[in-house]
Protein backbone atom coordinates (compact mmCIF):
# COMPACT_ATOMS: atom_id res chain seq x y z
CA UNK A 1 0.00 0.00 0.00
CA UNK A 2 1.39 3.45 -0.84
CA UNK A 3 0.08 6.97 -0.59
CA UNK A 4 0.42 9.54 -3.37
CA UNK A 5 -1.14 13.02 -3.09
CA UNK A 6 -3.16 11.78 -0.14
CA UNK A 7 -4.75 9.10 -2.33
CA UNK A 8 -4.35 5.49 -1.37
CA UNK A 9 -3.25 3.40 -4.29
CA UNK A 10 -2.78 -0.31 -4.78
CA UNK A 11 0.69 -1.74 -4.40
CA UNK A 12 1.71 -4.74 -6.46
CA UNK A 13 5.06 -6.39 -5.77
CA UNK A 14 7.06 -5.95 -2.58
CA UNK A 15 10.58 -4.45 -2.92
CA UNK A 16 12.04 -7.91 -3.61
CA UNK A 17 9.83 -8.24 -6.72
CA UNK A 18 7.40 -10.78 -5.21
CA UNK A 19 3.63 -10.12 -5.06
CA UNK A 20 2.15 -10.95 -1.64
CA UNK A 21 -1.62 -10.71 -1.08
CA UNK A 22 -2.58 -8.96 2.18
CA UNK A 23 -5.11 -10.63 4.51
CA UNK A 24 -8.73 -9.44 4.41
CA UNK A 25 -9.87 -7.20 7.28
CA UNK A 26 -13.57 -7.82 8.00
CA UNK A 27 -14.15 -11.36 9.18
CA UNK A 28 -17.58 -11.54 10.86
CA UNK A 29 -20.20 -14.18 10.05
CA UNK A 30 -23.85 -14.25 9.07
CA UNK A 31 -25.62 -17.09 10.82
CA UNK A 32 -28.87 -19.00 10.51
CA UNK A 33 -29.29 -18.58 14.26
CA UNK A 34 -31.86 -15.78 14.93
CA UNK A 35 -29.94 -14.39 17.91
CA UNK A 36 -26.62 -14.15 16.07
CA UNK A 37 -24.93 -10.77 15.70
CA UNK A 38 -25.70 -11.01 11.96
CA UNK A 39 -28.74 -13.30 11.50
CA UNK A 40 -29.72 -14.43 8.01
CA UNK A 41 -32.57 -12.19 6.85
CA UNK A 42 -34.07 -11.59 3.46
CA UNK A 43 -33.03 -8.25 1.93
CA UNK A 44 -30.75 -7.25 4.81
CA UNK A 45 -27.35 -7.88 3.22
CA UNK A 46 -25.73 -6.49 0.10
CA UNK A 47 -22.84 -7.91 -1.89
CA UNK A 48 -20.52 -5.36 -3.51
CA UNK A 49 -18.76 -6.96 -6.45
CA UNK A 50 -17.65 -6.40 -10.01
CA UNK A 51 -17.39 -8.65 -13.04
CA UNK A 52 -13.60 -8.60 -13.34
CA UNK A 53 -12.53 -9.86 -9.95
CA UNK A 54 -12.09 -13.64 -9.53
CA UNK A 55 -12.58 -13.45 -5.76
CA UNK A 56 -15.87 -11.60 -6.15
CA UNK A 57 -16.77 -14.12 -8.84
CA UNK A 58 -16.69 -16.90 -6.24
CA UNK A 59 -19.43 -15.07 -4.32
CA UNK A 60 -21.56 -14.15 -7.34
CA UNK A 61 -21.56 -17.67 -8.75
CA UNK A 62 -22.50 -19.21 -5.38
CA UNK A 63 -25.22 -16.60 -4.87
CA UNK A 64 -26.78 -17.68 -8.18
CA UNK A 65 -26.17 -21.42 -7.69
CA UNK A 66 -27.96 -21.18 -4.33
CA UNK A 67 -30.89 -19.17 -5.73
CA UNK A 68 -30.09 -16.27 -3.40
CA UNK A 69 -30.81 -13.53 -5.95
CA UNK A 70 -33.95 -12.44 -4.10
CA UNK A 71 -32.35 -12.73 -0.67
CA UNK A 72 -28.92 -11.07 -0.92
CA UNK A 73 -28.82 -7.88 -2.99
CA UNK A 74 -25.90 -7.47 -5.37
CA UNK A 75 -24.35 -4.15 -6.37
CA UNK A 76 -21.66 -3.91 -9.05
CA UNK A 77 -18.90 -1.37 -9.33
CA UNK A 78 -17.30 -0.63 -12.69
CA UNK A 79 -14.63 -3.27 -13.41
CA UNK A 80 -12.22 -0.49 -14.42
CA UNK A 81 -10.03 -0.09 -11.30
CA UNK A 82 -8.96 3.57 -10.99
CA UNK A 83 -6.52 5.56 -8.84
CA UNK A 84 -9.51 6.09 -6.56
CA UNK A 85 -10.37 2.40 -6.42
CA UNK A 86 -13.60 0.77 -7.59
CA UNK A 87 -16.20 3.32 -8.72
CA UNK A 88 -19.95 3.35 -9.30
CA UNK A 89 -20.18 4.79 -12.82
CA UNK A 90 -23.26 3.35 -14.48
CA UNK A 91 -20.88 1.66 -16.96
CA UNK A 92 -19.55 -1.89 -17.36
CA UNK A 93 -22.45 -3.37 -15.40
CA UNK A 94 -21.97 -0.89 -12.54
CA UNK A 95 -24.67 0.78 -10.49
CA UNK A 96 -25.02 4.56 -11.11
CA UNK A 97 -24.14 5.13 -7.49
CA UNK A 98 -23.92 3.27 -4.23
CA UNK A 99 -27.51 2.58 -3.11
CA UNK A 100 -26.70 2.88 0.60
CA UNK A 101 -24.70 6.08 1.03
CA UNK A 102 -24.91 7.47 -2.50
CA UNK A 103 -21.14 6.99 -2.59
CA UNK A 104 -19.19 7.44 -5.83
CA UNK A 105 -16.82 4.60 -4.99
CA UNK A 106 -16.21 1.67 -2.72
CA UNK A 107 -13.54 3.48 -0.73
CA UNK A 108 -16.19 5.89 0.53
CA UNK A 109 -18.32 2.93 1.68
CA UNK A 110 -15.41 1.40 3.61
CA UNK A 111 -14.62 4.79 5.20
CA UNK A 112 -18.26 5.43 6.17
CA UNK A 113 -18.21 2.12 8.00
CA UNK A 114 -14.78 2.63 9.53
CA UNK A 115 -13.28 6.14 9.17
CA UNK A 116 -9.81 5.03 10.31
CA UNK A 117 -9.71 2.00 7.97
CA UNK A 118 -6.28 1.64 6.38
CA UNK A 119 -6.62 -1.61 4.42
CA UNK A 120 -7.49 -2.15 0.77
CA UNK A 121 -10.97 -1.34 -0.50
CA UNK A 122 -11.65 -4.71 -2.04
CA UNK A 123 -14.49 -6.67 -3.56
CA UNK A 124 -16.20 -8.90 -2.67
CA UNK A 125 -17.58 -7.01 0.28
CA UNK A 126 -20.63 -8.21 2.18
CA UNK A 127 -22.46 -5.30 3.80
CA UNK A 128 -25.22 -5.22 6.43
CA UNK A 129 -27.77 -2.50 5.61
CA UNK A 130 -29.37 -2.68 9.06
CA UNK A 131 -26.27 -1.86 11.13
CA UNK A 132 -24.43 -0.20 8.23
CA UNK A 133 -21.35 -2.30 8.74
CA UNK A 134 -19.19 -4.53 6.60
CA UNK A 135 -19.68 -8.09 7.76
CA UNK A 136 -16.98 -9.77 5.73
CA UNK A 137 -14.67 -9.08 2.78
CA UNK A 138 -13.04 -12.47 2.41
CA UNK A 139 -14.45 -14.50 -0.46
CA UNK A 140 -13.60 -17.93 0.96
CA UNK A 141 -15.71 -17.10 4.04
CA UNK A 142 -18.54 -15.35 2.19
CA UNK A 143 -19.19 -18.40 0.01
CA UNK A 144 -19.40 -20.67 3.04
CA UNK A 145 -22.05 -18.39 4.57
CA UNK A 146 -23.97 -18.55 1.28
CA UNK A 147 -23.95 -22.38 1.24
CA UNK A 148 -25.97 -22.90 4.37
CA UNK A 149 -26.78 -19.90 6.50
CA UNK A 150 -29.63 -18.62 4.28
CA UNK A 151 -31.15 -22.06 3.68
CA UNK A 152 -34.37 -21.37 5.62
CA UNK A 153 -35.10 -18.50 3.21
CA UNK A 154 -34.82 -20.37 -0.10
CA UNK A 155 -36.76 -23.16 -1.83
CA UNK A 156 -36.28 -26.70 -0.51
CA UNK A 157 -34.34 -27.92 -3.54
CA UNK A 158 -31.54 -25.40 -3.04
CA UNK A 159 -30.93 -26.30 0.61
CA UNK A 160 -27.66 -28.07 1.36
CA UNK A 161 -29.26 -30.79 3.44
CA UNK A 162 -31.57 -31.76 0.57
CA UNK A 163 -28.82 -32.11 -1.98
CA UNK A 164 -27.69 -35.49 -3.13
CA UNK A 165 -23.99 -35.57 -2.35
CA UNK A 166 -24.29 -33.23 0.64
CA UNK A 167 -23.95 -29.82 -1.00
CA UNK A 168 -20.97 -27.67 -1.90
CA UNK A 169 -18.89 -28.55 1.15
CA UNK A 170 -19.97 -32.06 2.12
CA UNK A 171 -18.91 -33.44 5.49
CA UNK A 172 -17.27 -36.53 3.98
CA UNK A 173 -15.10 -34.54 1.56
CA UNK A 174 -14.07 -31.64 3.78
CA UNK A 175 -10.53 -32.87 4.39
CA UNK A 176 -9.87 -33.49 0.72
CA UNK A 177 -11.42 -30.20 -0.39
CA UNK A 178 -9.44 -28.23 2.21
CA UNK A 179 -6.29 -30.03 1.11
CA UNK A 180 -6.87 -29.09 -2.51
CA UNK A 181 -7.86 -25.50 -1.61
CA UNK A 182 -4.50 -24.99 0.02
CA UNK A 183 -2.23 -25.79 -2.92
CA UNK A 184 -4.66 -24.51 -5.55
CA UNK A 185 -4.92 -21.15 -3.75
CA UNK A 186 -1.19 -20.77 -3.37
CA UNK A 187 -0.03 -21.87 -6.81
CA UNK A 188 -3.06 -21.33 -9.07
CA UNK A 189 -5.66 -18.79 -7.79
CA UNK A 190 -2.98 -16.53 -6.34
CA UNK A 191 -0.15 -18.10 -8.36
CA UNK A 192 -1.23 -16.30 -11.56
CA UNK A 193 -0.97 -12.96 -9.73
CA UNK A 194 2.48 -13.87 -8.43
CA UNK A 195 3.57 -14.34 -12.06
CA UNK A 196 1.73 -11.35 -13.53
CA UNK A 197 2.80 -8.87 -10.86
CA UNK A 198 6.38 -10.15 -10.47
CA UNK A 199 8.81 -7.30 -11.03
CA UNK A 200 11.95 -9.43 -11.14
CA UNK A 201 12.82 -12.39 -13.30
CA UNK A 202 13.62 -14.33 -10.15
CA UNK A 203 10.10 -13.76 -8.70
CA UNK A 204 8.43 -14.76 -11.97
CA UNK A 205 10.60 -17.88 -12.39
CA UNK A 206 9.90 -18.91 -8.79
CA UNK A 207 6.15 -18.97 -9.48
CA UNK A 208 5.58 -19.93 -13.12
CA UNK A 209 6.80 -23.53 -12.77
CA UNK A 210 4.78 -24.31 -9.59
CA UNK A 211 1.68 -22.89 -11.36
CA UNK A 212 2.03 -25.29 -14.29
CA UNK A 213 3.01 -28.19 -12.01
CA UNK A 214 -0.33 -27.63 -10.25
CA UNK A 215 -2.25 -27.51 -13.55
CA UNK A 216 -0.56 -30.80 -14.50
CA UNK A 217 -1.59 -32.18 -11.10
CA UNK A 218 -5.20 -31.07 -11.62
CA UNK A 219 -5.24 -32.62 -15.10
CA UNK A 220 -4.03 -35.91 -13.59
CA UNK A 221 -6.56 -35.61 -10.75
CA UNK A 222 -9.42 -35.46 -13.28
CA UNK A 223 -8.29 -38.72 -14.87
CA UNK A 224 -9.34 -40.66 -11.76
CA UNK A 225 -12.83 -42.24 -12.09
CA UNK A 226 -13.90 -40.78 -8.72
CA UNK A 227 -12.95 -37.32 -9.94
CA UNK A 228 -15.39 -36.94 -12.86
CA UNK A 229 -17.11 -35.02 -14.20
CA UNK A 230 -16.28 -32.65 -11.33
CA UNK A 231 -13.19 -32.52 -9.16
CA UNK A 232 -14.73 -34.72 -6.46
CA UNK A 233 -17.14 -36.76 -8.54
CA UNK A 234 -20.79 -36.40 -9.51
CA UNK A 235 -21.48 -33.21 -7.62
CA UNK A 236 -20.12 -29.69 -7.85
CA UNK A 237 -18.21 -28.73 -4.73
CA UNK A 238 -16.35 -25.71 -3.43
CA UNK A 239 -13.20 -27.02 -5.14
CA UNK A 240 -14.87 -26.64 -8.56
CA UNK A 241 -16.15 -23.17 -7.74
CA UNK A 242 -12.77 -21.92 -6.55
CA UNK A 243 -10.95 -23.35 -9.55
CA UNK A 244 -13.51 -22.14 -12.10
CA UNK A 245 -13.06 -18.45 -11.36
CA UNK A 246 -9.33 -18.68 -12.10
CA UNK A 247 -9.42 -21.06 -15.06
CA UNK A 248 -12.17 -19.18 -16.91
CA UNK A 249 -9.75 -16.20 -16.94
CA UNK A 250 -6.75 -18.30 -17.87
CA UNK A 251 -6.45 -18.27 -21.67
CA UNK A 252 -8.10 -14.85 -22.01
CA UNK A 253 -5.98 -12.98 -19.48
CA UNK A 254 -3.45 -14.93 -17.43
CA UNK A 255 -1.87 -16.73 -20.39
CA UNK A 256 -1.55 -13.55 -22.43
CA UNK A 257 -1.30 -10.59 -20.05
CA UNK A 258 0.13 -12.22 -16.90
CA UNK A 259 2.68 -14.22 -18.95
CA UNK A 260 1.43 -17.58 -17.67
CA UNK A 261 2.18 -19.03 -21.07
CA UNK A 262 4.07 -22.31 -20.78
CA UNK A 263 0.86 -23.94 -22.01
CA UNK A 264 -2.74 -22.94 -22.66
CA UNK A 265 -5.78 -24.62 -21.19
CA UNK A 266 -7.54 -25.13 -24.51
CA UNK A 267 -4.65 -26.81 -26.28
CA UNK A 268 -2.69 -28.57 -23.58
CA UNK A 269 -5.10 -29.63 -20.84
CA UNK A 270 -7.94 -31.63 -22.44
CA UNK A 271 -9.53 -32.76 -19.17
CA UNK A 272 -9.41 -29.38 -17.47
CA UNK A 273 -10.67 -27.76 -20.64
CA UNK A 274 -13.65 -30.13 -20.87
CA UNK A 275 -14.36 -29.65 -17.15
CA UNK A 276 -14.36 -25.86 -17.68
CA UNK A 277 -16.55 -25.98 -20.79
CA UNK A 278 -19.07 -28.20 -19.05
CA UNK A 279 -19.46 -25.75 -16.19
CA UNK A 280 -19.64 -22.74 -18.51
CA UNK A 281 -22.20 -24.20 -20.91
CA UNK A 282 -24.41 -26.04 -18.43
CA UNK A 283 -28.05 -24.98 -18.41
CA UNK A 284 -29.47 -27.94 -16.50
CA UNK A 285 -30.97 -27.78 -13.03
CA UNK A 286 -27.46 -28.40 -11.71
CA UNK A 287 -26.31 -24.82 -12.35
CA UNK A 288 -29.06 -23.09 -14.37
CA UNK A 289 -26.38 -21.20 -16.31
CA UNK A 290 -24.84 -19.69 -13.17
CA UNK A 291 -21.24 -20.07 -14.34
CA UNK A 292 -21.84 -18.52 -17.75
CA UNK A 293 -24.09 -15.71 -16.47
CA UNK A 294 -21.41 -14.53 -14.06
CA UNK A 295 -18.57 -14.66 -16.62
CA UNK A 296 -17.43 -11.62 -18.63
CA UNK A 297 -14.36 -12.12 -20.85
CA UNK A 298 -14.08 -8.46 -21.80
CA UNK A 299 -13.85 -7.52 -18.13
CA UNK A 300 -10.91 -9.93 -17.76
CA UNK A 301 -9.01 -8.76 -20.84
CA UNK A 302 -9.54 -5.10 -19.97
CA UNK A 303 -9.00 -5.40 -16.24
CA UNK A 304 -5.77 -7.40 -16.33
CA UNK A 305 -4.31 -5.39 -19.23
CA UNK A 306 -4.92 -2.24 -17.22
CA UNK A 307 -3.59 -3.71 -13.98
CA UNK A 308 -0.33 -4.86 -15.52
CA UNK A 309 0.09 -1.59 -17.41
CA UNK A 310 -0.44 0.36 -14.20
CA UNK A 311 2.03 -1.81 -12.35
CA UNK A 312 4.76 -1.24 -14.97
CA UNK A 313 4.05 2.48 -15.18
CA UNK A 314 4.45 2.89 -11.45
CA UNK A 315 8.18 2.83 -10.97
CA UNK A 316 8.77 -0.35 -12.98
CA UNK A 317 9.08 1.19 -16.46
CA UNK A 318 12.39 -0.50 -17.23
CA UNK A 319 11.40 -3.88 -15.90
CA UNK A 320 11.69 -6.78 -18.33
CA UNK A 321 10.34 -10.10 -17.19
CA UNK A 322 10.89 -12.57 -20.00
CA UNK A 323 7.98 -14.97 -20.39
CA UNK A 324 8.91 -18.63 -20.01
CA UNK A 325 6.62 -19.94 -22.72
CA UNK A 326 5.58 -21.35 -24.97
CA UNK A 327 7.53 -24.34 -23.81
CA UNK A 328 8.02 -25.59 -27.38
CA UNK A 329 9.15 -22.64 -29.57
CA UNK A 330 7.67 -24.18 -32.68
CA UNK A 331 6.12 -27.59 -33.08
CA UNK A 332 8.17 -30.04 -35.19
CA UNK A 333 6.78 -31.19 -38.50
CA UNK A 334 5.11 -34.58 -38.50
CA UNK A 335 5.34 -37.40 -40.99
CA UNK A 336 4.48 -36.08 -44.48
CA UNK A 337 4.06 -32.45 -43.36
CA UNK A 338 7.35 -31.16 -44.84
CA UNK A 339 7.53 -29.39 -48.19
CA UNK A 340 9.61 -32.00 -49.93
N1 LIG B 1 -8.75 -12.01 -0.11
C2 LIG B 1 -9.68 -11.31 -0.82
C3 LIG B 1 -9.05 -10.67 -2.05
C4 LIG B 1 -9.97 -9.74 -2.76
C5 LIG B 1 -9.22 -8.86 -3.75
O6 LIG B 1 -7.98 -8.81 -3.77
N7 LIG B 1 -9.98 -8.14 -4.60
C8 LIG B 1 -9.34 -7.24 -5.55
C9 LIG B 1 -9.94 -7.38 -6.92
S10 LIG B 1 -9.53 -8.86 -7.75
C11 LIG B 1 -9.62 -5.80 -5.17
O12 LIG B 1 -10.73 -5.44 -4.80
N13 LIG B 1 -8.61 -4.92 -5.29
C14 LIG B 1 -8.77 -3.52 -5.07
C15 LIG B 1 -7.51 -2.87 -4.58
O16 LIG B 1 -6.55 -3.56 -4.28
O17 LIG B 1 -7.54 -1.64 -4.46
C18 LIG B 1 -10.81 -12.26 -1.17
O19 LIG B 1 -10.54 -13.41 -1.59
O20 LIG B 1 -11.95 -11.89 -0.97
User: CATH number of the domain that 264 lies in?
Assistant: 1.20.1050.10
Residue 168 lies in a domain: no
- Mutation test residue for ligand 1: of 54, 55, 107, the one with most atoms within 8 Å of CB: 55
Catalytic residue among 193, 204, 300, 304: 193
Checking if the pLDDT of 259 tops 80, the result is yes
| CATH assignment of the domain containing 32 | 3.40.30.10
Say yes or no: 138 and 10 in one domain.
Answer: yes
Which of 119, 141, 162 is the endpoint of a domain? 162
Q: pTM above the 0.80 mark? A: yes
Say yes or no: 96 and 230 in one domain.
Answer: no
ipTM score of complex: 0.99
Question: Is the shortest distance between the CB of 55 and ligand 1 below 6 Å?
Answer: yes
Q: How confident is the model at residue 12 (pLDDT cuts 50, 70, 90)?
A: confident
139 is in an annotated binding site: yes
Question: Is the shortest distance between the CB of 53 and ligand 1 below 6 Å?
Answer: yes
Q: How far is the CA of 193 from the centre of ligand 1 (A)?
A: 11
Say yes or no: 149 and 196 in one domain.
Answer: no
Say yes or no: 217 and 241 in one domain.
Answer: yes
35-71 tens-digit pLDDT:
999 999 999 999 999 999 999 999 999 999 999 999 9
From the alpha carbon of 8, which atom of ligand 1 is closest? Answer: 17
Say yes or no: 133 and 247 in one domain.
Answer: no
Q: How far is the CA of 56 from the centre of ligand 1 (A)?
A: 8
As a whole number of angstroms, the distance between CA 231 and CA 239 comes to: 7
Looking at the 3D structure of the chain, how many domains does it have?
2
Which of 108, 143, 162 is the endpoint of a domain? 162
Residue 57 lies in a domain: yes
User: Does 193 participate in catalysis according to the annotation?
Assistant: yes
**Mean confidence (pLDDT) of the chain:** 95
Say yes or no: 11 and 148 in one domain.
Answer: yes
Backbone φ and ψ for 233, nearest 5 degrees, come out as 110, -140
Residue 79 lies in a domain: yes
User: Does 304 participate in catalysis according to the annotation?
Assistant: no
Whole domain around residue 105: which residue ranges?
A: 2-162
Say yes or no: 104 and 177 in one domain.
Answer: no
Say yes or no: 188 and 154 in one domain.
Answer: no
Say yes or no: 110 and 136 in one domain.
Answer: yes
61-113 tens-digit pLDDT:
999 999 999 999 999 999 999 999 999 999 999 999 999 999 999 999 999 99
pLDDT top residue among 188 and 8: 188
Q: How confident is the model at residue 3 (pLDDT cuts 50, 70, 90)?
A: very low
Amino acid sequence: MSTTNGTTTHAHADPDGHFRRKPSSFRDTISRSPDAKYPAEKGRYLLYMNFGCPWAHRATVVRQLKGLEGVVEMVATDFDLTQDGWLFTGKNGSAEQDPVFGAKGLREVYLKVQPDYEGRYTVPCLFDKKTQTIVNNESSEIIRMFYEEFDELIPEEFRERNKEGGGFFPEALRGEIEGMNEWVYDTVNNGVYKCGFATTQEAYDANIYPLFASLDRLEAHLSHPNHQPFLFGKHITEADIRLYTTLIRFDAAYHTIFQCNLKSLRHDYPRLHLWLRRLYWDDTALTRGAFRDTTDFYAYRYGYAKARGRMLAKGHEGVVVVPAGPVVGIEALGEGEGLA
